[in-house]
Structure 1
Amino acid sequence: MQLTPFLAAAILSLTSTTIATPISQRDYSTLSLSAQLSLADTSADRIALLPDHASFLFNFDVNRGKGGLGGDITLANRKTFPALVGTQSAMAVGFLGPCGFNTPHVHLRGTELQVVTQGTIHTEMIVENGVFTTAGDAKSGRRLIQNDVNANQMTIFYQGSVHTQFNTGCEPATFVASFNSEDPGTGQVAEELFALSEDVVSAAFGQAVDGAQVDDFKGKIPASIAKGVEQCLITCKIAKRSASA
């Protein structure tokens, strides 16, 4: 078949519209860096979007002092450390002061592997419904998995499990936690529970909490790290705060 000029032009036009435009020629300037990295065609294109060596360095000390009363947790995820895009990984470093308490929480999209690097941290975890102290025996109660994790020891918190960490000592404790997700997410259980409507909270607790008390509780639940466990405070001679503090 002989191509006419018109037919040749039509074929060239269709071909040009089906060839992908290299990412270097696309205008993604209105998108966040993480979004641009996600849209990159190849890993090489992603690296090209990170021209500075410093893009591959994360400082866990950068947000120290911005946490709760008991310490700080700094998270490197796809937003705070865009070089993680495409790795399915994230990492956090926790700094717990004396008697520092990371309140019960869950990670919605990732399993956590936690290594203690300084001090001793008491950990507790509830996995899910149907896991009992005695396998298959609901009357034995829900199984509580707890450990005192020392320096250079590791524990695991499964995705979606309710877990908590507490520095049992009078000296600072630190841990490093890795996640198999670029955005593992965190939900503080108590804070989220009391964010529900008063009727729902009252129904969940029965007579344990009066509906009129819910607002009082809401304002007193720390968002993340909190001083806790009275015996530790006494041992370490840490004064408790008054209700008005």
Structure 2
Amino acid sequence: MALLALGFIAFAAVASVALAADADRETDLVAKLHMANTNLDRMELLPDDSDWFFDFTKQDKYTFSPGGVINANAATFPATVGQGMTLAMLNLGPCSMLPPHFHPRATNFVVAINGTTQTYMIAENGARTVTEVLKAGQMTIFPTASIHTMMNVGCENAQLISALNSDDSGTTNLANTFFSLPANITNTIIGGGISAQDIYGRIPTVGTGSSFGPDQCRAACAKQGKMIKREW
């Protein structure tokens, strides 16, 4: 299991982008909603029909180049405060992936809308790796704090819906957090001959939540004329 974990970390390091934290859009309103004593009090803070409307396609992370994670949560959609849920739309361009990560405060139900998406999940130390291929109308579950990742293994765009049972689920990206530790720790874990800092320098900066996948997949799709160009 230790070797599997190290391999998983190395894989994450080469291809990962941190899943960016969502910035509060209406800080004062969200604070008031959290402080409201009753649901009726919250309703009075959201008096307009537009307060209850969220358009995933109009968000800045809605892209398939290489992809994006668009969250409707307490930070982006104040009406979710107190509802105990986040709904996310996951966009994956050809061969794109969500890097290995976990949600510390939520279980994650993922349903495929279109495309072909390979998923992997490890619940905890000692647990086996669960893998599934999701096509339209199929789903899988990532339990709270389980490590998971997914990749579009086709040459068409893939889209999925993710439901999490918290309006503040949080996301921890493995590669970025691991390589943020002191070098004497990361170098010891990796072993001799490899510099953790060199690997860290290859991890792209925070993006829209998705990253480009393996070059082999990208090359196969490029032959079909269905590949997006790297943007970094």
| TM-score, structure 2 normalization | 0.80
Query: Is residue 217 from structure 1 mapped to residue 213 from structure 2 by the alignment?
Result: no
Query: Is residue 229 from structure 1 mapped to residue 210 from structure 2 by the alignment?
Result: no
Structure 2: tracts of 5 or more residues without a match: 1-25
CA displacement at 1:37 relative to structure 2: 0.8
The structure richer in strand per residue is 1
Query: Is residue 110 from structure 1 mapped to residue 95 from structure 2 by the alignment?
Result: no
Q: Which residue of 142, 167, 176 maps to 1:191?
A: 176
Query: Is residue 98 from structure 1 mapped to residue 80 from structure 2 by the alignment?
Result: no
202 and 63 in structure 1: CA distance in 2 versus 1, 3 angstrom threshold: same
Identity of aligned residues (%): 38
Structure 1: tracts of 5 or more residues without a match: 1-29, 132-142
Query: Is residue 181 from structure 1 mapped to residue 177 from structure 2 by the alignment?
Result: no
Q: Which moved more, 1:86-95 or 1:221-230?
A: 221-230
Q: Which moved more, 1:97-106 or 1:214-223?
A: 214-223
Equivalent position amino acid for 1:121 in 2? T
Query: Is residue 207 from structure 1 mapped to residue 196 from structure 2 by the alignment?
Result: no
- 2:50 and 2:104 map into 1 onto residues whose CA distance is 30
Equivalent position amino acid for 2:36 in 1? A
Query: Is residue 145 from structure 1 mapped to residue 130 from structure 2 by the alignment?
Result: yes
Q: How many residues align?
A: 200
1:61-140 matched pairs, under 5 angstroms: 61-64=57-60, 69-131=65-127
Deviations 1:86-123 (A, max 9, x none): 11111100110000111101101100000000111000
SS at match of 2:219: helix
Please name the residue that 1:155 is paired with: 140
Equivalent position amino acid for 2:103 in 1? H
Contact (CA 8 Å) 1:88, 1:182: kept in 2 or not? yes
178 and 31 in structure 1: CA distance in 2 versus 1, 3 angstrom threshold: closer
What root-mean-square deviation, in Å, do the aligned CA atoms of Structure 1 and Structure 2 show?
2.2
Report the structure number with the largest CA radius of gyration.
1
Please name the residue that 1:10 is paired with: none
CA displacement at 1:79 relative to structure 2: 1.6
Contact (CA 8 Å) 1:118, 1:174: kept in 2 or not? yes
CA displacement at 1:234 relative to structure 2: 1.8
CA displacement at 1:53 relative to structure 2: 0.7
Deviations 1:4-63 (A, max 9, x none): xxxxxxxxxxxxxxxxxxxxxxxxxx9621110111121111000001111101111122
226 and 193 in structure 1: CA distance in 2 versus 1, 3 angstrom threshold: same
CA displacement at 1:241 relative to structure 2: 5.7
Q: Which has the higher contact order (CA 8 A, sep 6+)?
A: 2
| TM-score, structure 1 normalization | 0.76
Contact (CA 8 Å) 2:69, 2:91: kept in 1 or not? yes
1:6-85 matched pairs, under 5 angstroms: 32-64=28-60, 69-85=65-81
31 and 184 in structure 1: CA distance in 2 versus 1, 3 angstrom threshold: closer
